[in-house]
Amino acid sequence: MPIYIIVEGKNDRSKVRRLLDPEIQIVCTYGTLNTTKLESLRKEIRDNEVYLFMDNDSSGKRIRGVLRDAFPDAGHIYTRRGYRGVEGTPDEYIISQLEKAGLEEFIVYPDSYTVWSKD
């Protein structure tokens, strides 16, 4: 069964893509969600496992709220306030959040990755 992660933009997708196995599907909202885009996401994802990974800003929180209603069983992955969105989040922090979400078997750890304390 496919696993999906919804992010806001293509740079977010590129950032997360480098850290995950290709079998994980990463789809973008492109920063907006209208009825057509939301319906397209619903058709693509259907009843598959889905995670929401949005920026920690007002736009990201608004998009997460809409997606939470559309996908009530979705898992949530968060970045910290202060990071410049998902794309500006350090790899180590994203990896720790993916591990917290239970996706460790799909993580492609960078060669330079070192273990650091989890918060």
| Averaged pLDDT, 26-47 | 91
The pLDDT of residue 117: 46
User: Does residue 112 surpass a pLDDT of 80?
Assistant: no
pLDDT for 63-83, tens place per residue?
Answer: 999 999 999 999 999 998 889
Average pLDDT of the residues of the chain: 91
Domain-by-domain residue ranges, the chain?
A: 3-106
Fold of 3-106: Dna Topoisomerase Vi A Subunit; Chain: A, domain 2 (3.40.1360)
Report the alpha-carbon distance of residue 47 to residue 88 in Å, rounded: 30
Interstrand relation of 49-53 and 24-28 (parallel, antiparallel or unpaired): unpaired
The pLDDT of residue 90: 94
| Averaged pLDDT, 24-35 | 90
11 Cβ partners below 8 Å, 6+ apart? 87
**pTM of the full predicted structure?**
0.89
Report the alpha-carbon distance of residue 41 to residue 34 in Å, rounded: 11
> Which among 102, 95, 100 has a CA at the least distance from the CA of 116?
95
